[in-house]
Amino acid sequence: MKGQILKIFKREKRIVSGEALSSELGVSRVSIWKHVRKLQELGYNIIATTTGYRLIDSIDALFPWEFPDRESKIHFFPKVTSTMDVAGEFARKGCSHFTVIIAGCQKKGRGRLKRIWHSSEGGLYFTIVLRPQIPPVLSLRLNFAASLVLAQLLRQMFCIDAMVKWPNDILVNNRKISGMLSEIEAESDMVSFLNIGFGINVNNDPAAKEPAATSLRCILGKKISRKQLLSEFLDKFESYINNVNLDNVIPEWKKYTITLNRRVKVVTSHDISEGVAIDVDENGTLILELADGSIKKVIYGDCFHI
Ligand code: BTN
């Protein structure tokens, strides 16, 4: 109902009477008044006059009704520990494929290798629950698909030189703008769910806590609509994974990576290696050539360009 009321406000661009809203939407004027009051409480700038209501300007809200085509699968929480925790609970309770958990901020945002992901207001924090019918070994390709689609979208929407750093970071001018984290559960060699969490620095300023990070607002010098970015990303990512042959993901991802053919330090949960990143195989494993000429394969870790 809230989405429908907002749609009418945006269409009319003038004062709309409670009576007109109630007859178009088939609910009582009291019900309209309650919804409008709730929208005002949520931060929407709606004025109420003796003749009706008017939306003064749009806000960058991430409530489910802001995504009308996928409203039933979007869940927004103003503050959570981590969207990964919430998405895990939803997935174990059987939520459907492509359910999206969004948070305004996170108290315990997690990064890879148990790092903290600082998650203040203004950033975009969400986790998508996927239920691909694939064996776990192929699932990493979906993480690479996610970083590929996001890098392409950032280039297209903002004309910025977004590049991917193994495994799934997105950098602009060598500074991190987005990171991804995934959690998987499998049953009898089939993925039961794969949750991919995205942290995108949009209107927040992460540099104080993470000097090597930046945000879209810092790069572009203006506020960016998180809703538009998220909406376009969800459409593009969903369509990509529905249509792509997973064999094509890594070759495409390689066109946007800055990791290959350079010296790197790779940190995993149990060791640190240095070498030249010579390739990424079809499942996303990083192939390193070490100083003694031997080859080391790293499935999961963090990579630092040196
Ligand atoms: C990394 O680069 O280390 C991964 C960062 C992933 C951050 C996102 S924010 C949404 C989701 N919830 C979390 O706690 N982490 C991921």
- Cα(192)–Cα(150) distance, integer angstroms: 24
Using a 6 Å cutoff on CB, does residue 110 contact ligand 1? yes
- Phi, psi for residue 206 in degrees, rounded to 5: -80, -10
Q: Note the pLDDT tens digit of each residue in 205-220.
A: 998 888 889 999 999 9
Looking at the chain, the whole-number percentage of residues with pLDDT higher than 70 is 100
Decide which of 57, 77, 104 is a domain's last residue.
57
pLDDT for position 211: 85
Q: Which amino acid is at 169?
A: D
Decide which of 33, 57, 81 is a domain's last residue.
57
- Cβ contact 35:26 at 8 Å: no
Using a 6 Å cutoff on CB, does residue 179 contact ligand 1? yes
- Structural domain count, the chain: 3
Using a 6 Å cutoff on CB, does residue 80 contact ligand 1? no
- Phi, psi for residue 183 in degrees, rounded to 5: -135, 140
Q: Which amino acid is at 221?
A: G
| d(CA 161, ligand 1 centre) in Å | 22
Residues 288 and 156 in one domain: no
Whether this model's pTM surpasses 0.75: yes
Q: Note the pLDDT tens digit of each residue in 143-178.
A: 999 999 999 999 999 999 999 999 999 999 999 999
Structure tokens at 212: 């090597």
Residues 72 and 203 in one domain: yes
Q: What is the CATH number of the domain that holds 39?
A: 1.10.10.10
Run of H or E including 295: strand 295-298
Structure tokens at 56: 């003064």
Q: Note the pLDDT tens digit of each residue in 174-209.
A: 999 999 999 999 998 999 999 999 999 999 999 888
Report the DSSP beta bridge partners of residue 187.
190
Residues 53 and 89 in one domain: no
Mutate to test the pocket of ligand 1, among 181, 194, 198 (most ligand atoms within 8 A of CB): 181
pLDDT for position 113: 87
Residue nearest to atom 2 of ligand 1 (CA): 179
Instruction: List, in sequence order, every beta strand (DSSP E) within 58-162.
Output: 74-80, 99-106, 124-130
Q: Range of 16's domain?
A: 2-57
- Supply the mean pLDDT for the chain: 95
DSSP code of residue 278: E
User: Quick one: which atom of ligand 1 is closest to the CA of 123?
Assistant: 9
pLDDT for position 57: 86
Q: Say which residues have a Cβ less than 8 Å from residue 294's Cβ, sequence separation at least 6.
A: none
Residues 103 and 209 in one domain: yes
CA dihedral 125, 129, 132, 135 (to 10 degrees): 80
Structure tokens at 139: 């699932």
Structure tokens at 178: 């987005």
pLDDT for position 182: 96
Residues 74 and 156 in one domain: yes
**Quick one: CA dihedral 40, 43, 49, 54, positive or negative?**
negative
pLDDT for position 273: 94
Residues 170 and 277 in one domain: no
